[in-house]
Structure 1
Amino acid sequence: MTDAVTPGKTAGIPTAEDEVVQLCSELIRIDTSNTGDPDTVTGEREAAEYVAAKLAEVGLEYETVESGAPRRDNVFTRLKGANPDRPALLVHGHLDVVPAEPSEWSVHPFSGAVQDGYVWGRGAVDMKDMVAMTLAVLRRFAREGYVPPRDIVFAFLADEEAGGEYGGRWLVRNRPDLFEGCTEAVGEVGGFSLTLDEDRRVYLVETAEKGIAWMRLRARGRPGHGSFLHDDNAVTKVAEAVARLGNHTFPLVLTGTVQQFLDRMSELTGLEFPQDDLDGAVRKLGPLGRIVGATLRDTANPTMLKAGYKANVIPSSAEAVVDCRVLPGREKAFLREVDELLGPDVTREWVTDLPPVETSFEGDLVEAMTAALLAEDPGAHAVPYMLSGGTDAKHFVELGMRCYGFAPLRLPPDLDFASLFHGIDERVPVDALTFGTRVLDRFLRTC
């Protein structure tokens, strides 16, 4: 791309894409591993201080907020827009990452290495890439004194990887003033490309996500000696309930977002998605099929078991944890099915319960996303989709915001992007970072 059409190119002022790779690499080097355990969590303070310093460096005012626990820091800055009568836009990203085991990686997960055309490390795609792109564009705006069309609130947040109890959820419930006037929000896990052919790419924009319900199951029984006949075994009760739940296939449900995705993909590819073999048809989408397939029905996957303290002692209680993901509109029906499967001997309680999210793929904001993509990639087709996981959007809907996932990346056709989230050798292409920064710059100038 020539300087003449680079967004915001001004003589003597670095563009956002000039510094985004360095910002991403430096953010990755800050270990913000979130174990979910308050006793072992690293905390986001160092990363928040890094962000704050980068904002201060270009003269931006900011506020740092500790969200309910020591070192769980968040950074906010608001750019005043040209039209104060318009509602504000929230752009959010999280500073924490899931843990990584260095011995399993080709490079150290907190090295931020830039090699082979990629930036490597934990958080490269989830989501220090988007944090770096946002920070780069924000710094560019500040350097040139750019005034966006409306107020934009930029939030760099803690604790997303453990549900936001010490991040987004705490902030929404304790500091809603930080989001004053925001009616729309843009965050992670959307805007990335899927190559159809040499001239066409689909860019998936997240407009919906399944609910997260981490559920603890518990059974009680009569303790005793392991050598005796025993007909009231807590371990057996939990194991049988977990097996029933884990082997159960919930009914196929086509939400509005998924139907819209399938219709658009059918138009673009010629593939058909018949309901009598929808699972098989979706698998034809390749790696993307794993994401889409998980949004066709509710899921309940057992992930943890806990019981006993000695091989020859039958314990009085046993527990299991199940990771449940629930489609919009399915909450009550899902719980009815779960309770039928568990039976009378097993109780359940929520460890985490975050709602499904869904909004429409229409309006000025969607048009701005589409236009920004097309300006940088004439072969772009923006398509809505549902995320099988969850983001901080679940908290912002409590304040009435319409939430989208739009962290734009033009990816190599052969990159299995979905496998990099929480995966070994997580990495983001350098070209994708600079592309995404240009798109984000254009988008925020027209939002």
Structure 2
Amino acid sequence: MKSAIFAVSLFAVTAPAPAQKPATDQAPRPDQRAFRELFRELVETDTSVATGSCTLAAEKIAGHLKQAGFADDQITLFKDDKFPLDGGIVAVLPGSVAAAKPMLLLGHLDVVNARREDWTRDPFKFIEEDGYFYGRGTSDMKVLVAIWVDTLIRFKQQGYRPKRTIKLALTCGEESGARMNGVQWLAENRTALIAAAFALNEGGGGDTDGKGKLVTQTMQVGEKSNRNFEIQATNPGGHSSIPVDDNAIYELGDALARVRAYKFPVRFNDTTRAFFRQAGAARTDDLGRAMVRLAADPGDKAAEAIVVRDRSYNSMLRTTCVATLIEGGHAANALPQRAKANVNCRIAPGEDADTTRAALERAIGDAGMTVTLTGRLRPVAVTPPLSPMIVKPAERLVARYFPGVPLIPTMSTGATDATYLAPIGIPTYGVPGPWGDPDGNGAHGLNERHAVRSAYVGRDFLFDLVKAYADE
């Protein structure tokens, strides 16, 4: 954007301040200090699958909600007894209008594993430094978890009674579902507990230009499906002293080279077409112009060649498949009898595992190679409607908090727990509000961080957004 972009101040809701300013020398308000302490406690409660406990985090959250005035029958702690560390919590703030269907706030408590020896700072210590909060989960997604819990506490403290019931489900397994997934468990075992007209989740948010300037706000409306395929070559093998060209490792290598070279076709849906059209129009460079042209004509190869230079945009355009694991051979002095690789595919809406496997088989072009669907299967992602009931309140608040910043629908190229809600009739949207940097802020990587200003402004924005939906 050419003009300066402004947001609501960290410290006075009525006083605008530059959104690109990362920090302030003013002390936080008392309510912000309480939020910061909740955020700190969540980050310092290790919820990684390797060394932590979601159950402990859920129990701490239950304590805060009870202290705020939630009754015992408004709080449900749950877990599968086979996985005692993977528990979660559902809380309910009753509405005043019986005909108004509930809304659901969704979040995952678990975080990606983090090793202290790899990090500059202790990953499970909450550290504020140079305008950022550091620690595992600060961006993915304990900032949003803290905001959801804080919002319900504030509602309770203010005596606010929404028209529609507000439900909160915080679960384990989104990052570490090898043991269990809490949303899946609730959908299969406690459907009525989380039943809602719609859900708000991670996946949206603001984007900066990498220099602190807020460029866009996005609302996630849909996501890709996640599927893994095992590609395998087999061979009788033999002694390594008499090699032959018919070698399972070589055959697998040739197959993977063809997978790398294959590009799935561009596939737009309503969300991605709107994203490329609007996000492109917000830019003033060749990339922006190419995004607009491609949204208008998916067959424009010249525009596509420019857009795919950005790997995130390339992933939004199409199904993508990439080799992630490889295994082969059985002895150092023997020809391999078997070689296999895992290929992880992120499948665009409108395609599925069968169409993707068929495309991989055509690309490999070798009947001797097997392509087999493997791993944990999430439900196929269903893109929710671009409902005015969802979009309009968000647009109004983005215009109020971030004048001049467009709200754009986007499709996640990853996968969230929203996939488990669609089969039980709950369309799920990733909220705008808190923002991140182009480098991903270390989420799933080293030295994860979240901007201090983003956490505070995003907290106030989402408080107002939840209230807008609750009174709709």
What TM-score do the two structures reach when normalised by structure 1? 0.88
Structure-2 change in CA distance of 1:17 and 1:223 (3 Å) = same
Match of 2:271 among 234, 257, 265: 257
Contact 1:17 1:438 in 2 (8 A): no
Structure-2 change in CA distance of 1:109 and 1:298 (3 Å) = same
Cα displacement string for residues 228-274 of structure 1 (whole angstroms, at most 9, x for unaligned residues): 23465433333332222123222222222111112212433353123
- Where does residue 305 of structure 1 map in the other structure? 326
Letter in 2 for 1:384: P
| Distance of 1:215 and 1:173 partners within structure 2 | 26
Cα displacement string for residues 171-194 of structure 1 (whole angstroms, at most 9, x for unaligned residues): 2122212222x1211111202234
Letter in 1 for 2:181: Y
- Where does residue 100 of structure 1 map in the other structure? 114
The reply on whether 1:171 has 2:193 as its aligned counterpart is no
| Distance of 1:73 and 1:416 partners within structure 2 | 33
Structure-2 change in CA distance of 1:33 and 1:197 (3 Å) = closer
What is the DSSP-based 3-state SS (H/G/I as helix, E as strand, rest coil) of the residue aligned with 2:95?
Answer: coil
Structure-2 change in CA distance of 1:174 and 1:318 (3 Å) = farther
- Where does residue 388 of structure 1 map in the other structure? 413
Structure-2 change in CA distance of 1:4 and 1:440 (3 Å) = closer
Letter in 1 for 2:39: C
What is the DSSP-based 3-state SS (H/G/I as helix, E as strand, rest coil) of the residue aligned with 1:87?
Answer: coil
Structure-2 change in CA distance of 1:238 and 1:198 (3 Å) = closer
Letter in 1 for 2:374: W
Contact 2:45 2:52 in 1 (8 A): no
Letter in 1 for 2:427: R
The reply on whether 1:374 has 2:399 as its aligned counterpart is yes
1:138-287 equivalences in 2 (<5 Å)? 138-163=152-177, 165-180=180-195, 182-194=196-208, 201-230=215-244, 233-270=247-284, 271-273=288-290, 274=293, 275-282=300-307
- Where does residue 47 of structure 1 map in the other structure? 57
What is the DSSP-based 3-state SS (H/G/I as helix, E as strand, rest coil) of the residue aligned with 1:404?
Answer: strand
User: Structure 1 residue 114: deviation in Å?
Assistant: 1.6
Contact 1:25 1:119 in 2 (8 A): no
Letter in 2 for 1:28: V
Computed over aligned residues only, the root mean square deviation of the Cα atoms, in angstroms, reads 2.6
Match of 1:63 among 59, 63, 76: 76
- Where does residue 321 of structure 1 map in the other structure? 342
- Where does residue 139 of structure 2 map in the other structure? 125
User: Structure 1 residue 56: deviation in Å?
Assistant: 1.9
The reply on whether 1:31 has 2:46 as its aligned counterpart is yes
Structure-2 change in CA distance of 1:133 and 1:417 (3 Å) = farther
What is the DSSP-based 3-state SS (H/G/I as helix, E as strand, rest coil) of the residue aligned with 1:294?
Answer: helix
The reply on whether 1:346 has 2:363 as its aligned counterpart is no
Letter in 2 for 1:329: G
**What stretches of structure 2 of length at least 5 have no aligned partner?**
1-8, 16-28, 294-299
Cα displacement string for residues 388-413 of structure 1 (whole angstroms, at most 9, x for unaligned residues): 101001111111121111152145xx
Larger mean CA deviation between 349-358 and 193-202 belongs to 193-202
Contact 1:16 1:438 in 2 (8 A): no
User: Structure 1 residue 20: deviation in Å?
Assistant: 2.3
- Identical-residue share of aligned pairs (%): 27
Letter in 1 for 2:467: R
| Distance of 1:430 and 1:111 partners within structure 2 | 16
Contact 1:15 1:140 in 2 (8 A): no
Structure-2 change in CA distance of 1:321 and 1:4 (3 Å) = closer
Aligned length: 427
- Where does residue 455 of structure 2 map in the other structure? 433
User: Structure 1 residue 41: deviation in Å?
Assistant: 6.3
